[in-house]
Each structure stands twice: as structure tokens, then as C-alpha cells.
Structure 1
Amino acid sequence: MKDVITIKQIARQLNVSPSTVSRALQNHPRISAHTRDAVHALADQLKYLPSTTARNLQRGRTGVIGMVLPEIRENFFSEVINGVEELAFEHHVTVALYQSHDRFDREKQILKVLASNRVDGVLLSVAKETQQNHHIQEVLDRQIPLVLFDRIPANLAAHQVECNIEKGAYEATKWLARRGHQRIALLNGPYTLVASEERYRGYITALVEEGLPVENALIKRIDLTAQDTVLKMQQLLTSNTRPDAVLAFNDYVALDAMQVCRNHGLVVNQDISFVSFANLPLNTYLEHPPLASVEQHPYKIGFMAAEILLNVINGKIAPENLQKVTLEPELVVRDTDAPEAG
């Protein structure tokens, strides 16, 4: 490897001090135009690149923020990353990306690594296994700025950015009910996720308002794996009160459940209708996607979470001035011509 060109080497060739070179490269007004031009010319000739690390260390920073999320392969989280990176790139900040793979022990270890490496801040969406907050509180106790996004644990005083999941579930269930569906099932996530309870509340509220019965047999909890989704959807189809519609935790769950229906000889969105969350782009390529999906605005979530974090890091928001942003969901209806229930 070629030797890295340093400020000291430039200073030595021009017979000036390293501090003079440093100021000249930053166009400091106290440096004469002649010296400034000479420094820039030699720096260009030698292909000098300033050390961002050294500059950040002078300011007591690393120039790195940690981002911890369940799975990159999920399109929702990929879009969140896009939002974060857009702002981070603009501010010359490096994003260290980690996946918990929905495991509590892995999430705990990642946060420990980020803290020990003294990152400037952390963006976190908790794993489905996470039921305790002490590892997150340890990060906050170290006075490392932290912003929670999307999957946010209860009873934790921290900056937050989320979408109104309860309202999304409410609107989706109302939409199905007003199309004539009488037995609307819920394929919900695990109890450990606050978002699962938010979906449940919205679903129940809509059923009650529409005068539809709340049947426990139509409510299934899944661990968000394809295998468990298949099992729970088969249980719904073989029960005495087979649903005529399903509200799914997200589009991935809906697609797995829809395949179960096809395997049982049912026509998706005719014999049984589907509405879900996430509004995946791939749905536009499917012949029979969910009739509607709740848009949760993942790009905005990522952008706004990064914006809050950078503002805290840069002193524009006091650490104790906790920010909570809740985005409004949008029910995206794909097929208004699909036959109604009944």
C-alpha cells in the first residue's frame, strides 16, 4: 500500500508549520492567499485526503452512529435505512448497521459493542424477543444519544419515531367491515411487540363500532415466521367459524397466509379477502396482492429518526427534551373492483 500523505509531509515540503497547513486547508482568514494557494496546490498534487477520524476526535466524536434493526431483508427496514443514510450522507456521518435477527441476546451484545466503541448516537428498533429494557437504559445512562423507531418498547424515556399502528389497524378493519365482511380474522404478531397490541386495539375498536362480534377463535398470534403463519392460517380455515377476511400483521404474513388459502382450493380476495401492513412494492407485480395495505412511511421514519439523533448530537435538541413523532398511516387500496363479501 502507498504511504498516506499527511499534513506534516505537506508542511515539511513547504517549510511551514503543520498548524499553518491545517488552517490553509480550512481556508482560515489568518492565512495569506499566497500560502493558502501553495498548500492547496501541493495537497492536490500529492492527492492528500483529510482525516475525518482525526477531525472528529478533535471534537470529541467518532463521526459514527450505530443503527440496530431486526432484519435488513425486510423491505420496510430497507426503506428506513434509505431515509437514515440520506441524511447521514448529507452530514458526513458514517452509519454502522447491525441486525439483531430478532434475538434479544444479539441486540444486547450489539448495543454493548456500540457503546464501547463510543459511537456518537444509536438508532434502535427492538427485536421481537426483547422484553426487558435494561440494556437500552444502560446506553442512555452513558449519555449516548438514542432514538427508538418503529418497534418501540413500552415505559422507556427516549426519543421516538413511529407510525400510528392502532389507527392503521382501525381503518383497515373498518374498510373490510364496510365491504360486507362479517368474520374478520387477525393474524397478529407476538405479545412482546408493542405494535402487536396497537394492531389488536385498532382491530377490536373497529369491530365494536361496526357491530361485529369479537371472536377469540379469529385472533391468532404468530411469531412472524412463515411456518407459524401457515400453521395459524390452517387453523383458521379448518375452524367452525372460518373467516371471510383477514387483517395480517404485514404483507409478508399476508402472502404466506394467502398461499395456504390457495392450497385449500380457495380463491384469494373472493372466498377470503386480505388486508395487511407495510405496502410492499412487490405487491404491484402480483396478480392477486392484498386488497389494501397500510402504508407506514418507513423512509420518513428513518429520515426523521436520523434528524432527531443528529440534532441531539449537535446540541440543537437538549437530551432531556424528548421528541416523539407519530406519523399518520395511509390505507392504500389496490383493487376497488374486487367483489364484496356476501
Structure 2
Amino acid sequence: MSDKPTTIKEIAKLLNISVSTVSRALNDHSSIGLITKMRVKKLAAELNYEPNQRAIQFLQGKSHTIGVILPELSESFFSAAISGIEDIAYKRNYTVLLAQSHDDQDREKLLVEKMKTQRVDGLLISVSKTTSTYEHFEALKKLNIPIVFFDRIPPIKNIHFVASNLETGTYEAVNFLLKKGHRTIGMINGPSTLVASAERKNGYIKAMTSQRLKFDPSLIVGCDLSDQGTKEAMDTLLHHKRKPTAIVTFNDYVALFAIRHARSLQIKINEDLDFVSYANLPIINYMDYTPIASVEQFPYKQGKKAANILLDLINKPRNDSGTEQAYFNIVVESELVINQSK
């Protein structure tokens, strides 16, 4: 027997019918009689016929594959997000092509180019913390490959995105600390390239000023989200003339780094210094000293919503009228989760 896959032409020749009749029979076309359909399908099964997916995709103009680029899959936040994306893709018969930027702009640009080469129908992306230029996304838009950003959103106009409302989440977090009696509250924020960093800062300012407290910008310190960057931010705050009694950290990982550094300096966690963080990841359940609260950002929900939007964009009829496109900007409300053990 030949190792070459069976073709529609071979089935047509053996049954002495046309290629178009075989094709219609395999696809249950109404113009083909039941007996002919049964003969074609029986022979196709005997010959282990498999449809040529590349040819089908070429005719449809679709690969039925979506690309996903994440900063770090090892972070449980992004693992939860990809679970939401894959669940929607599975339900809608799409395959997911996954890649990690490892928070590097150059790697992200290369991955976007590779996704284009792989002919993905659309792209979901959470941008790296170092991304500061965005022409690689414009290149996809010119090819009519839709992009939906989620969680980490670039500061550019006319984009589709799904993100958590971090401004209100930060307002709740800082207000929670104020109600506990804290008046000097520090913040370890993220890189200025991230929209989320600005949202955290805005929420902090609103919470402080709502209580008629003076906003001190020197109490907000940016970092690169690394262990070393967090230590440096902590040292800046701990040597501040107004030493904070509470610190809001960019995420649970930064909280872990900050708490570990504070303990090395003999600072009593949740006595001398309280922490509030973001994401409410499972990691906090395994920490000896945990943040007293964390802002839940619902990554699974973000992933599901982003995937549904992308697939709707892929499958909607092309707009050739020249009218301006409507952009999906979905904000998932965050929620402050109090650590009941503290």
C-alpha cells in the first residue's frame, strides 16, 4: 500500500463519478442523493481518507488558529488567563498557538512576526513590561489581523482590550488601609510603560485626597517588578522621612519580594508594616507572612472575554464601507479580597 494520503480524485475514479460529486457527498450537500453519499463515505473510510486541511484553510482564507503572547506562563495569573482563552477556543473550534515574551520587547516583536508567518487569524496579547514602541502591532492591523489586548494594555488609541479596573481596586485598597488607621502609605508601582501603573497611581491619589490627606508623590516608587528592583524600592520607602506603616505592592509576587526583604531587616510584618497587593494569586496561601488584602483581577474571566471578542472579530463580515470601526473596551471590575487570617 502507498503511504501517500488518499485524495478525492482517487475516490472519484474508483466510483466512476466526478470529483465535485465526491466533495459534495463528503460535505452532505443536499444536491447529492443518500445512496451516493453512503457509497462515497464508505469508500473514504476504507481508504482512511482525511480532508486536506491546508487546502480547506486556503479556500476559506482562515487557519482557525489564534495566537496568544503572554509575559510569563509560569505566573499563575497568566496560567488562569490562558485557561479561559483555551476554553473559549475549544468551544468555538479554534486552536491556540501560545508563546511567551518573558517580559522582553524585542522577543515580543519577534513573536508577533512569527505569529504573522504562521498565518494566525487573530492575536491575543498582554504586553511585556519593557514594551515602549508599538509599530509591530500596526503591521498586523494593516494585514487585517485583529488584535485584542488583555490585562497589560499599551497606551495607544483605537485598540480592542479587556482589563481589570485597577483604579477602583486601588482606591478600595488604600481606603481599606486608611480605615485601619494608616496615614503614611507607600506604593511600589510598576514600570511607567504600563497603563496599569498609571491606574494604580490614580486610585492611590483619589483615595488619599478623598480623606483630605495631602498626596506625597515621593511615597510612590516605581520598579521593574524583579526581586532586586523590589528591594531597591523598599529601601527607598523605608528610608523615607515619613516612613510608611503600610505599603501597596504592584502584585503578589512583588509583595513576596518586599515582605522577604522587610523580614531580613527585622521588620515585623502585619505589626510594624502592613501590605496590600494585587491579583489574589494562590501563591499567597503558601506565604509565611501574607498581604492583609489583595485586589482580585479575575484573569480567567479576562481571558474568556478577550477570546470571545477576538473570535467575533475574526468571524464578522468584513466592513468595506469605509466607516470607522467600533472598538471593544471591556473593563472587568476588580474586588478587594481581605485575608481573613490577619
The TM-score normalised by the length of structure 1 is 0.91
Q: Which runs of 5+ in 2 are unaligned?
A: none
Question: Distance between the aligned counterparts of 2:160 and 2:133, measured in 1?
Answer: 18
Which among 326, 331, 341 is matched to residue 326 of structure 1? 331
Deviation digits for residues 221-260 of structure 1 (CA, Å, limit 9, x no counterpart):
1101111112221332344432211111000000111111
Shift, 1:316, TM fit: 5.9
Matches within 5 A, 1:123-162: 123-162=124-163
Question: Distance between the aligned counterparts of 1:311 and 1:317, measured in 2?
Answer: 12
State whether structure 2 residue 200 is matched by structure 1 residue 195.
no
Matches within 5 A, 1:1-342: 2-315=3-316, 320-335=325-340, 338=342
**Residues 104, 130 of structure 1: 8 Å contact kept:** yes
Q: CA RMSD in A?
A: 2.1
Shift, 1:329, TM fit: 0.5
Shift, 1:325, TM fit: 0.6
Shift, 1:289, TM fit: 2.1
Alignment CA distance shift 1:79-1:51 (3 Å):
farther
Deviation digits for residues 265-303 of structure 1 (CA, Å, limit 9, x no counterpart):
223222211111111023233343211111111111111
Deviation digits for residues 91-122 of structure 1 (CA, Å, limit 9, x no counterpart):
22122212222222222222222234432111
Question: Distance between the aligned counterparts of 1:259 and 1:44, measured in 2?
Answer: 63
Question: Distance between the aligned counterparts of 1:78 and 1:2, measured in 2?
Answer: 40
**Residues 234, 260 of structure 1: 8 Å contact kept:** no
Deviation digits for residues 154-177 of structure 1 (CA, Å, limit 9, x no counterpart):
232111111111111111111111
Alignment CA distance shift 1:261-1:3 (3 Å):
same
Question: Distance between the aligned counterparts of 1:241 and 1:5, measured in 2?
Answer: 77
Question: Distance between the aligned counterparts of 2:296 and 2:43, measured in 1?
Answer: 53
**Partner AA of 1:74 in structure 2:** E
**Partner AA of 2:79 in structure 1:** S
Question: Distance between the aligned counterparts of 1:184 and 1:223, measured in 2?
Answer: 20
**Residues 184, 244 of structure 1: 8 Å contact kept:** yes
Question: Distance between the aligned counterparts of 1:228 and 1:66, measured in 2?
Answer: 31
Question: Distance between the aligned counterparts of 2:166 and 2:318, measured in 1?
Answer: 27
Question: Distance between the aligned counterparts of 1:204 and 1:247, measured in 2?
Answer: 13
Deviates more, 1:2-11 or 1:18-27: 2-11
SS at match of 1:274: strand
Question: Distance between the aligned counterparts of 1:187 and 1:317, measured in 2?
Answer: 45
**Residues 25, 39 of structure 1: 8 Å contact kept:** yes
Shift, 1:43, TM fit: 3.2
Shift, 1:213, TM fit: 3.7
Alignment CA distance shift 1:183-1:2 (3 Å):
farther
Question: Distance between the aligned counterparts of 2:12 and 2:271, measured in 1?
Answer: 76
Question: Distance between the aligned counterparts of 2:181 and 2:27, measured in 1?
Answer: 68
The TM-score normalised by the length of structure 2 is 0.91
Shift, 1:143, TM fit: 1.9
Shift, 1:2, TM fit: 4.7
**Residues 259, 289 of structure 2: 8 Å contact kept:** no
Shift, 1:214, TM fit: 2.7
Shift, 1:193, TM fit: 0.9
Question: Distance between the aligned counterparts of 2:29 and 2:224, measured in 1?
Answer: 58
Shift, 1:317, TM fit: 8.4
Alignment CA distance shift 1:60-1:235 (3 Å):
same
**Residues 53, 63 of structure 1: 8 Å contact kept:** no
**Residues 170, 206 of structure 1: 8 Å contact kept:** yes
Paired residue total? 337
Alignment CA distance shift 1:317-1:16 (3 Å):
closer
Identity %: 43
Alignment CA distance shift 1:317-1:290 (3 Å):
farther
Alignment CA distance shift 1:11-1:237 (3 Å):
same
Deviation digits for residues 62-88 of structure 1 (CA, Å, limit 9, x no counterpart):
222221221111111111111111111
**Partner AA of 1:186 in structure 2:** M
Deviates more, 1:166-175 or 1:262-271: 262-271
